Every structure is written in structure tokens, then in C-alpha cells.
Chains A and B, each alone.
Chain A
Amino acid sequence: MSKLTDLTITQAREGLTKGDFTARELTQAHIDAMEAHRGLNAFITETPDRALEQADAADVAIKSGDAGAMAGVPIGMKDLFCTEGVLTTAASHILDGFTPPYESTVSANLKKAGAVTLGKTNLDEFAMGSSNETSYYGPVKNPWKKQGDDADMVPGGSSGGSAAAVAGRLAIAATGTDTGGSIRQPAAFTGIVGLKPTYGRCSRYGIVAFASSLDQAGPMTRTVRDAAIMLGAMAGFDPKDSTSANVPVPDFEAALTGDIRGKTVGIPAEYRPDGLNAEVQAVWDKGVQMLKDAGATVVDISLPHTKYALPTYYIVAPAEASSNLARYDGVRFGLRVTDGVRSLDDMYMKTRGEGFGKEVRRRVLIGTYALSAGYYDAYYLKAQKVRTLIAQDFKKAFETCDVILTPTAPSAAFPVGAEVDDPITMYLNDVFTVPTSLAGLPGLSVPVDLDKDGLPMGLQLIGRPFDEETVLQVGDVMEKAAGFTHKPASVGA
């Protein structure tokens, strides 16, 4: 039998049901791995005792035959989800000591489905970043390294701790959140599967807000089937989130028929800019061929406003962030700086000056400027109009195709520290994922191959609103064709 930490959700479910091992054994194996790999800095808070209690409860449920879809599966919870009684930091100094008195809907749903939470995973501060280097709790290391090179690579971001935990076999799966690529890009950088569902599919209640019109929770797993199972456990209508969609949650796993004959896959010309990394191009071509071989029809499509997606995002997201982050005032929770404070404004300014890291400060200031008197129309309103055009591009494209195939990221993982000094270079990491977010569509990253340095590369499948089923169905076929079975060196054979 393979090691317990190598199991997928699907395999764990089977082994637990058959009684090959208990949820407690499975959980203990992952707790040991979590402790052995603390050097990755994947977790901000470990909760092994709670995990074992949850595992015992899962063992009881499994024995009595009423186990949920995630019963006994040890997962990591991105530290952006509020968890009752467990420190929740958003990887920010300003949330020092914050222990939520309530539970986010997604984490509650997972708990209900029997999942075992190992702890809270590291992330970019307030999910703002593409390399997990903006965390107040320090950068996360990618379990993958270049062949013959010991330099630490970034895991991508912002869900970098979740990605590293899943890729490094510390957790079978993890939750992520995605505002402009924060699930899909780290999934690609670490050779795992990441799904950003349609906006509204998973409740945002209890997720520390970054940009409310974009934020969406999703699963990070090692297989497409696992993503389907976990999404089913996370999703669902929630009256506590005014933008939660009141639509039925289908059996996502049932969509994985293995047959994509008759499906039409669109290839957008605009995702092939001059200077596109040749290896990214080659992996993309390979993916196209796999889907053709599986019987899908491949058509060229156009998404003409693609190049304006990033600039649109860097108005809309910071504007919403500046508004959302106004709540951190040192009065009701988290950090309060009182040294030398002479007035209320002074306390706000000192608390926020000390509490926010540089990237968060940058984005709050850009957002404040874009929303300020005299600039609102020129920046924010303009960006909202271009966002409409970007969404219309996709709508039109989906008249001629069922799913769109693109690279997930413009490169493989880069070394820690390599891009940290130049915000715009860092922002370009999300060039292929941001348009999907602006249009609210589901996007799935599937690992396809290694580059010449031995680092994983992923491809993204984009679907119609609330059609995660087709995205997962095509992703499952591409995953099987790609046969990506590589593991990071840290995991061992």
C-alpha cells in the first residue's frame, strides 16, 4: 500500500470505508508530515488536537454508515477563513490575536461533511500577492526546486500555504480563495489542481474580505476528481452572503464521464502575446493536442479586451480593498497601537501604519486614490465599464465553444525574492487568470508537465457561469492524458 500521506481524497474515502485504516491513523500521518515539514512555513497555526478529535468523530460516523463526503480527510484551511475559537490572521499583523467567535460557511460546510482540519495555512497578507512573500508570518517555500539547484522557489500566491501543504503531502487537500488567480496560479506553481468556482457558488460569509465582487473560495487538491468531491462539500446557497447564488449544487463527481467527444474547446488568440514563454506555449500546444485526441473539437476564439484585464483589476480590486480594509481601526479587534497617540485619528493612523504590510498599504492607497473626489469617474467608473466589455467577450466566445483552454501562468515558479521589488512584474503573474475573475467564471488549473528545470506547469480551463461540471469533465480527461505523476523531491519516492 502506498503511504497514507500519498492518498487522494478518493483513495482515502475507499480505504476508510473498507477499514484499511482509521481516520485517526490517516490524520496522525498528516500531523507528523506537517511537523516534519515546518521548514516550508505552510501553516500559520497548527491544530493537531482538534484534528484528532474530528478524526475520532469521523471514525464513528464511518462505522455507523452515515459519513459525509469528506469524512476523515485531513485538510488545510487557508487562514482567511474565520474559524470559531481558532486564531485567524489573514497573514496580517493588524489581526494580531483575533479569534473569531463564529465560523465561515465554507469551513462549516466542510466540517459538516466530516473533513478534519489540520490547521490554518499561510497566505499573502489579506490574499494580496502572487508569491506568498507578503505574509507577516514569512514566505512559504515551494516543495519543488529546480533540478540540481537548492534555491527556494515561491509556491505562488496568495493561497501559497495551501498549495505547498497539498503538493508537499502535508494535507490531502486544502481550501483556497481566488480574487485574481490566488487558487489557480499557486496550483500551477506546485503541480496540483486548483478550482476557482463561479462567483456566487461558495458563500463568502466569514472569509476575510479582499475585493468582494471578485473573492471566491475553492478547492486545492491533487486530482480533478478530488476537486469535484471537495467543491460539492464547500458549495451551496447561503442566506448570510447576499451574493450567494440560489442554484442547486450538482453531483460534480458524476460529471466526470471521461468522454468529451462533441465538446468544443476555444483557444483565445489574445493569450498568445509576443514574447510568450516558449515552454508555456509548448505545454499549451500539448494540451490542445490531448483534447483533440480525446475527440473534442478545437476552435480559435477571440477575447479582444484581454490586455485590459490587468489594469481593470488593479483599479477594481484595490478600490474594493480600500473600502473593505477600513474596518481595521484598532477599536474592535486586532492590533491597537497606543504609543504616543494624541487623538483618535492618530490611533487609526499609527495602528494601520504599523499593522499593514507594504503591499497592502500600496493597494489601499491606490484604491483610496481611485475612489477619491475628482478621480472616481476617470478610474473606478472607467474600470467598471471595461469590466463589462471583458465579461461580454467571454459571453460571445461561449456562443461557439463549451470551454476555453489557456495557460494558467506566464511562467513556472520563480525563486524567493526574485520579483518582490517590482509590483507590476509581480502583478503580471495573474495575466491569464484575472480575466476569468473579472467575468466571474469558473477556472480550473490542471498540472500538465514539467519545464526544463523540472518545475511543474499547469493549464487553465474556463467555463460558462455555473458550469463547473464541463470544466471538471474536460479537466479530468486532460489530467488522464497528461499523466502528471511527478512529485516534489522533498516528498521522497
Chain B
Amino acid sequence: MSLDNTTVRNIAFLARIDVPEAELPGLADELSAILGFVEQLGEVDTKGVEPMTSVTEMALRWREDAITDGGQQDKVLANAPDAVEGYFTVPKVVE
């Protein structure tokens, strides 16, 4: 699989990463090389094989549906680049 600039631009948008136009061709080559490398998985016969979703053969635990934490607004907001009156803020999103 070889990726072109348009595809890379689209993936970068899906991942919300700004990639300068000048870097697209180099990135497309690198990503294509990695995809080429992983495509050898196509040789493996996986008919009837279950996909692995958990490496340790254990079921997820249940717990009581009860509040175990909370009331830490100051700590939650402590690292926010721009917290105002108990809220996280973002740039204006309504035109």
C-alpha cells in the first residue's frame, strides 16, 4: 500500500495533527514503507483464529456501582492551560 499526499493529509486531520505541506511527501514515503513492512501479515493463514483482545486469560472484574472518588475540582483543574471559574476553556467555537 502506497499512500499519497491527499491520504496522509486526511489521516493527519483524523488524528488532529497539523502537518506542514512540505513534510507530506516525506511522511507519505515513511508511512508507506511501514505499511509495506506490516503487509507480510497477509501471508499468515488466520482462518478460524480468534482475535486476541486480552493477553492474560482473565475476565474483567465487577465492582459495586458506587461512587469511589470525586470532589477534587482544584486538582482536576490544576494543570489546565486556561481554567476559568471552575471550568476548562477552549477558543470560541461558535462563529
Q: Considering the chains assembled together, what is the distance between the CA atoms of A333 and B78 in angstroms?
A: 8
Q: With A332-B88, A365-B15 as given contacts, are A389 and B46 in contact (CB-CB < 8 Å)?
A: yes
Q: Smallest Cβ distance from B54 to chain A, in angstroms?
A: 8
A332 touches B38 (CB 8 A): no
CA distance A173 to B39 in the complex (A): 40
8 Å CB contacts to B: which residues of A3-34? none
Determine the residue in chain B with the shortest Cβ distance to A96.
Answer: B81
Question: Given A330-B81, A331-B90, A336-B82, does the pair A364, B15 have CB atoms closer than 8 Å?
Answer: yes
- Contact status of A311 and B41, CB under 8 A, knowing A341-B91, A344-B91, A352-B17: yes
Given A213-B55, A348-B16, A242 and B60 touching (CB < 8 A)?
Answer: yes
Closest to A305 in B: B44
Nearest-neighbor residue (CB-CB) of B48 within chain A? A385
Chain A residues contacting B34 (CB-CB under 8 Å) are 314, 362, 366, 423-424
A332-B88, A368-B14 as given contacts; A389 in contact with B27, CB under 8 Å: no
* Binary contact readout A394-415 vs B (1 if CB under 8 angstroms, 0 otherwise): 0000000000000000000000
Chain B residues bordering chain A, tally (CB within 8 A): 51
Interface residues of A in 72-116 (CB under 8 A from B): 97-102
Cα-based distance from A385 to B35 in the complex (angstroms): 17
Collect the chain A residues with CB atoms within 8 Å of residue B75's CB.
101-102
A391 at the binding interface (Cβ < 8 Å): yes
Q: Give the interface size class of chain A.
A: 35 or more
Q: Which residues of A contact B91 (CB under 8 A)?
A: 338, 341-344, 346-347
Partner of B44, one of A198, A308, A310: A308
A residues near B51, Cβ cutoff 8 Å: 381, 384-385, 387-388
The answer to whether B56 touches A382, judged by C-beta atoms less than 8 angstroms apart, is no
Residues of B within 8 A of A346 (CB): 91
Q: Which of B21-56 contact A (CB under 8 A)?
A: 27, 30-31, 33-35, 37-44, 46, 49-56
- Which B residues have a C-beta under 8 Å from some C-beta of A? 3, 8, 11-20, 27, 30-31, 33-35, 37-44, 46, 49-56, 58, 60-61, 63, 72, 75-76, 78-82, 88, 90-91, 93
| 1/0 contact string of A364-378 vs chain B (CB within 8 Å) | 111011001000000
A315 to B34, CA, bound (A): 10
Say how far A421's CB is from chain B's closest CB, in angstroms: 10
Q: Contact at A356–B17, with CB atoms within 8 Å?
A: yes
Task: Report Cα–Cα, A157/B11, bound state, in Å.
Answer: 27
Does any Cβ of B come within 8 Å of A440's Cβ? yes
19 A-B residue pairs with CB within 8 Å: A200-B58, A243-B56, A308-B40, A312-B38, A333-B80, A335-B81, A343-B91, A349-B13, A362-B31, A368-B15, A369-B11, A372-B14, A384-B52, A388-B52, A389-B49, A391-B52, A423-B30, A423-B34, A424-B37
